[in-house]
Structure 1
Amino acid sequence: MVSKNPPVPQPSAQESLQAAWDDAKEWINRDLAYVWKDEVKQDYKKIESATSRIAFIFRRLKAHHLVNRQEYTKELHDLKKLLSELNNIEPKQKWVDKIDADIMQIIDDLELGLSRRKFLRTAGRAAAGFALSSLIPNSLKAFAKKAAAKTGSTSMKASGELSVVDSYSRWNNKRPYRPDTKYIILHTTEGGGRGSLESLKKHGAANYMVDTDGKVCRIIHSGKVSNHAGRSMWGGLTNLNYHSIGIEVVGYYDRPINLQQINSLRLLLYQLQIRYKINDYNVLTHSMVAYGSPNRWHPKPHRGRKKCGLLFADHRLRKLLGLDDRPKKDPDVPNRLVIGDPVLAQALYGTGQDFDRAVGVYTAPGSNIISSSNKAWDIARAMFDDPSTLYIFSDGRQARGHEIADWSNIPSGTMVKLNQPISGEEIAASEESFEGFKVLGVHGKTPFEIAGSLAETDRTIYLLENGWIRTGLDIKKQGRDLRDAKINFSTLAAGTRMLVGYIYGGRILSGGKSAGGIAGSKWNDPSTYYILPYDWKKKAPAKIFTGDDIGNRESSIPNGIIVVFKE
């Protein structure tokens, strides 16, 4: 006779439940004790696994009548609460980010050069009875130990004192934390200290600036995105603002920096390299990583957009900065991701003599005079159409870069002067906000003069005179709406604004993708644009915002706005 009673469960069922519940609590408690972003994400997966086991055991115990109903209800309530927390990952990540930011600020203020995990563990030991004051001398011993291991003695890198002054940009609180930090990128301001700091603060265009007196100004938190690299690529990785720390040094790419700057930069590099585990090879110059989108001189993406920071590629100066290694070649030219610049490559990757010869080409008498072999691009690079670039014609006439539309007819003998004052203010050429809007009739007579081969692709965005927003590929395909409006590349009106090297992300609509879902980590990047098109019903003109304007308030982004972001 078969018994109608349910089978007796394994004696270990309740023990398994307790073990699974303890596992879940262990991971939760660990996250509360040690907030470490990458590991927290892994812990969520482990918690999910533990809660799944708990749910299964609950069902089994209930089926076998081994769980007190009151206890079962209570535990089930706790389980549902935990699962609810797991389904609310984004707010939890923001909470973690906040604590993470606070910890990084403490570490920055103490200048300990410690990782967050080491700091937390040390602080945890201190809370358990160890003296917190031991944290500082131990960190200094770690500095000396690492330096000795590298050089065989106390490293010159670690000697001296570093003066860091907080001079934060208004954008500091709005900028996101980088997902990783692979590189340090060195820049030169190409202007004096008087205007450079204010310019960098205005745009949040560097993490640090080293002034001529050796003082280091902290502009954007070392762990946050600063808008310093612009259109950049290294080893196939683009948009290096999200993967690097930017340091501006007051001075010029072709002139030596002084001993005070060398000493401060050496110490700053040393601390940052230890904190972020960056080797000497990955301390790069802006001129190494910057590349230009196609234009009238270059039909494809190309190196040579910037000479900024060129002197920091010279192995003789790098030695003084405590940097024993450097890149020997451009990783992206052999892979045909960009077209190389032979003279620039000689300076960046050659010998000391190669460096001197290349800089000599840039600075030789007459090097700033336009000729058949020395175009505006060769002299001014990406600043060729900038308001701070002044063209002095042989007949005495003058024009600013943004005032010239016909670049094919600039007469030989025209002198080009960079970084010229505008409205009495000194302009720093390193003001690397990003390559923003180009204007037809100002930056070129045709779309192809401005964007080269990208003009008719989906990587160029056009803000048309009638309020429409279309890509180059849309205009090339000539849909019915464009045909009826007689809009094509030859009829585009002067004043049409263009974004070159951008992706059309589409509209943000309720129930649809969020800004982060469209643009990923670039949703609040300074180079990302949010465009409210012309409202024909209300006769309201188009409004344009940047990622900086949005800040961290994704919920504040209006419904119907169009997102375009840099590729």
Structure 2
Amino acid sequence: MALPVAITTEDKINMLMREGINKNADWSEAAHYDIRKPNFVIIHHTAQNSIQQTIRTFQLDHTKVSAHYVIGKDGRVVQMLNDYLRSWHAGRSKWGNVTDLNSVSLGIELDNNGKEPFPDVQINALLVLLDTLKTKYQIPFTNFLGHADVAPARKNDPSVFFPWKRLAEQGFGVWYDDSNLMSPPTNFNYVDALRIIGYDVSNLNAAIVAFKRKFIITDVSKELTDYDRRVLYNLYRRYF
């Protein structure tokens, strides 16, 4: 008896690409086309109790959520979807003019309940993965974001414990120059600055909190202090 042939992820992609509207049509592949190329990376924390629970969550039909990668506290990296497939990790989201982050991003979940620091071994594994993804897909350094960045009214991950500064120092994301925090000019429009960086300012308070959770950390109130405005101005100038 012949053994069953394992179907690879590449085979699955090829089968998906051949599923047209007319199922009875002949198939003759064209020479020129593109598959989805990720241009963003969105980082999450799982808000669950273990990596095993998260993997199981992503395999249940009714949960309707997934990610490309899950990283455990011990640095174990589990890939759950091919990079070229669209996972369901960002939900209702917006960054700049992009309103469907799922279609252009890779989702990475870190095993963390949102109330604890991230172990060094976990962050080190993340940095290795990010370097691989950045190199492979030529992802701009500004496009490494958190879930709360792209969905500020709904999400707070990857929490105030996440080391965004450390990532930015390695070329993944943006951080401010704390040695050059000059006061912004009198005509500085902080709403426009948040929008230009990428935040959805339709819910301004949520955007401010998301910004402060990431860059200020110790204060996540809805008001921008003088120091907050200097940080924002410093970051804003990096986009010109």
1:43-442 alignment, distance < 5 Å: 92-93=29-30, 177-178=35-36, 180-193=37-50, 194-202=52-60, 203=64, 205-290=66-151, 303-311=152-160, 314-319=163-168, 322-323=170-171, 325-326=173-174, 330-331=194-195, 338-340=202-204, 341=206, 342-348=208-214, 350=215, 354-358=216-220
Q: 1:266 to 1:312 in 2, by over 3 A?
A: farther
In the other structure, the counterpart of 1:141 is: none
Note the C-alpha offset of 1:206: 0.2
In the other structure, the counterpart of 1:58 is: none
Paired with 1:271 and 1:334, the residues of 2 have a C-alpha distance of 24
Note the C-alpha offset of 1:181: 1.7
Paired with 1:271 and 1:335, the residues of 2 have a C-alpha distance of 26
Number of corresponding residues: 175
Is the Cα–Cα contact under 8 Å of residues 96 and 199 in structure 2 kept in the other structure? Answer: no
Local SS of the residue matching 2:195: coil
Local SS of the residue matching 1:201: coil
Local SS of the residue matching 1:191: coil
Note the C-alpha offset of 1:343: 2.5
Please say which structure displays the higher CA radius of gyration: 1
Is the Cα–Cα contact under 8 Å of residues 201 and 219 in structure 1 kept in the other structure? Answer: no
Note the C-alpha offset of 1:182: 1.6
Q: 1:239 to 1:260 in 2, by over 3 A?
A: same
Is the Cα–Cα contact under 8 Å of residues 46 and 113 in structure 2 kept in the other structure? Answer: yes
Q: 1:255 to 1:275 in 2, by over 3 A?
A: same
Paired with 1:314 and 1:331, the residues of 2 have a C-alpha distance of 23
> How many percent identity over aligned positions?
25
In the other structure, the counterpart of 1:371 is: none
Q: 1:281 to 1:253 in 2, by over 3 A?
A: farther
Aligned-partner residue type, residue 207 of structure 1: H
Give me the CA root mean square deviation.
3.2
Aligned-partner residue type, residue 323 of structure 1: G
Paired with 2:220 and 2:201, the residues of 1 have a C-alpha distance of 23
Note the C-alpha offset of 1:310: 3.2
Local SS of the residue matching 2:218: helix
Note the C-alpha offset of 1:213: 1.4
Note the C-alpha offset of 1:277: 0.3
Local SS of the residue matching 1:310: coil
Q: 1:243 to 1:273 in 2, by over 3 A?
A: same
Q: 1:324 to 1:217 in 2, by over 3 A?
A: closer
Q: 1:92 to 1:334 in 2, by over 3 A?
A: closer
Q: 1:324 to 1:289 in 2, by over 3 A?
A: closer
Is the Cα–Cα contact under 8 Å of residues 314 and 355 in structure 1 kept in the other structure? Answer: no
Is the Cα–Cα contact under 8 Å of residues 332 and 338 in structure 1 kept in the other structure? Answer: no
Is the Cα–Cα contact under 8 Å of residues 189 and 252 in structure 1 kept in the other structure? Answer: yes
Note the C-alpha offset of 1:191: 1.1
Aligned-partner residue type, residue 201 of structure 1: Q
Note the C-alpha offset of 1:212: 1.4
Higher relative contact order (CA 8 A, sep 6+): 2
Q: Which has the higher strand share?
A: 1
Aligned-partner residue type, residue 38 of structure 2: T
Q: Which has the higher helix share?
A: 1
Q: Any unmatched runs of 5+ in structure 1?
A: 1-87, 101-176, 291-302, 360-567
Paired with 1:309 and 1:89, the residues of 2 have a C-alpha distance of 47
Paired with 1:212 and 1:190, the residues of 2 have a C-alpha distance of 13
TM-score by length of 1: 0.28
Paired with 1:269 and 1:336, the residues of 2 have a C-alpha distance of 25
Aligned-partner residue type, residue 220 of structure 2: A
Instruction: Report which stretch shifted further, 236-245 or 192-201.
Output: 192-201
Local SS of the residue matching 1:356: coil
In the other structure, the counterpart of 1:131 is: none
Is the Cα–Cα contact under 8 Å of residues 81 and 87 in structure 2 kept in the other structure? Answer: yes
Q: Any unmatched runs of 5+ in structure 2?
A: 1-24, 177-192, 222-240
Local SS of the residue matching 1:318: helix
Note the C-alpha offset of 1:266: 0.6
Note the C-alpha offset of 1:262: 1.1
Local SS of the residue matching 1:92: coil
Is the Cα–Cα contact under 8 Å of residues 186 and 312 in structure 1 kept in the other structure? Answer: no
Note the C-alpha offset of 1:201: 2.9
